[in-house]
Amino acid sequence: MTQTAPSTEPDLRHTIVIVGGGSAGIAVAARLLRERPTLDIAIIDPATTHAYQPGWTLVGAGVMKLRDTLEQEGGVIPKGCKWLRAAVSTFQPDNNTLTLEDGRTVGYGRLIVCPGLQLDWDKIEGLSETLGRNGVCSNYSKDTVEYTWTCIQSLAGGTALFTQPPMPIKCAGAPQKIAYLASDHWRKQGTLNRTNVEFCLAGDALFGVAYFRPALQEAVDYYGINLHYKHNLIAVNGPERKATFAVTGPDGKVTKVVKEFDMLHVTPPQSAPDFVKKSPLADAAGWLDVNATTLQHAKYPAIFGIGDVMNTSNAKTMAAARAQTPLVAQNVLASLDGHPLTGQYDGYGACPLTVAYGKIVLAEFLYGGKPAPSFPYDQRKPSRFAWFLKTTVFPRVYWDMMLKGRDIEVPHHPEWSKS
């Protein structure tokens, strides 16, 4: 009796498989279906809640409610799209398949990888045990963002520490945004004069785009925030209210410095998800390896990237994912049709920097940190107009347009920054 060879056919097969149901994944799926409604698309994501994360700075500052930033994942999956509520385990790009953690295999014609970033809380000793209590908060988690506002409101003096880990992280301006808003709140309460506010960052520059640094330095000076460069948070003792930093001196030597605090806002270290890091799709640093312009994988032409997981040098922001969405959809369809890839990403990203309640420095820029404003005014100057965009317009654009695949492209004008 002859044995039948085991089947190599995947358990499931779809024309396009999208790994990640966050901002980028939902937006590109919706865009593809709007362009070609009959496409067979599957989204893989184990999450049941979808979050508008740009709103969490405002939640942590008491401006927005957490519930207004959350939606059921099933409620944002585009109609006509299959949702596989599962996690990816491994990729087999030579066979155009991937394997889920439950053992099922999924075949694809084209694969779009956009699982976002992984928050590495455990890389800071003691943080997980004390996060959400003992004055230790973070806007980077929906579970602790409301506690940030509790900490800000209850502090009536003492020491408030705000941290920023080594880059890259998502929304590189977020760690300092909350420092400004907290300081503005304490100023209004009359307690800022007895509060020592420290912003401790692992890098050596306040912001990656030099064009906007003077405006941010003005905010730092206005509130009397003490800046500490080359300070990387490595451990937290919540009950004793002590934070340990690895501090790199001018000579390159690293020493440990312990700071006492009454409030500690932590931005965790971040990296590509482990299942991407350990896969053939990653570069040496663990990021999804793509062409910086077409966002097609550097080695596997059936694979594309979008959003924070890629090794591109743009800022990892929702605005970047929004800019990437139409060109990735365009290039995936061209690839399926056997046509050249004409969609080109210029590195656009944006960071609305909340320097006060009601005032925002709207930083927009391309690859290389080249300023690229969308509006004809000096966007280095704090603006109420930009606050209106951040608090009112952008959330509606996100839920009603970007996630529905009917977003519009807002032109940016690098030449406006030269005036």
Active site residue 200: no
Q: What is the rounded distance in angstroms from the CA atom of residue 247 to the CA atom of residue 252?
A: 9
CATH number given to 120-271: 3.50.50.60
pLDDT of 198-235, one tens digit each?
999 999 999 989 999 999 999 999 999 999 999 999 99
User: Any idea which fold 12-117+272-347 has?
Assistant: FAD/NAD(P)-binding domain (3.50.50)
Average pLDDT value for the chain = 94
What pLDDT score was predicted for residue 6?
A: 43
Contact between residue 116 and residue 20 where contact means Cβ atoms under 8 Å apart:
yes
Neighbours of 368 (CB within 10 A): 10
What is the DSSP code (8-state) at residue 5? P
pLDDT of 43-87, one tens digit each?
999 999 999 999 999 999 999 999 999 999 999 999 999 999 999
- Measured CA angle at 264 (ends 262, 268), to 5 deg: 165
Q: What is the rounded distance in angstroms from the CA atom of residue 278 to the CA atom of residue 375?
A: 42
Catalytic pick from 114, 137, 151, 171? 171
What pLDDT score was predicted for residue 8?
A: 78
Fold equal for 12-117+272-347 and 120-271: yes
Which helix (H) or strand (E) segment is 82 a member of? strand 81-84
| Structural domain boundaries in the chain | 12-117+272-347, 120-271
Average pLDDT, integer, range 83-95 = 97
Those residues with Cβ within 8 angstroms of residue 336's Cβ, 6 or more apart along the chain or in another chain: 15, 109, 110
Catalytic pick from 81, 114, 200, 351? 351
Active site residue 151: no
pTM here?
A: 0.94
What pLDDT score was predicted for residue 3?
A: 40
What pLDDT score was predicted for residue 47?
A: 96
Write phi, then psi, for 51 (nearest 5 degrees): -120, 140
pLDDT of 305-344, one tens digit each?
999 999 999 999 999 999 999 999 999 999 999 999 999 9
Q: Residue 69 half-sphere exposure, CB side, CA atoms within 13 Å?
A: 23
What pLDDT score was predicted for residue 107?
A: 97
End-to-end CA distance of the chain: 83
Those residues with Cβ within 8 angstroms of residue 254's Cβ, 6 or more apart along the chain or in another chain: 246, 247, 248
Q: What is the rounded distance in angstroms from the CA atom of residue 237 to the CA atom of residue 260?
A: 10
What pLDDT score was predicted for residue 238?
A: 96
Tokens 């385990």 label which residue?
89
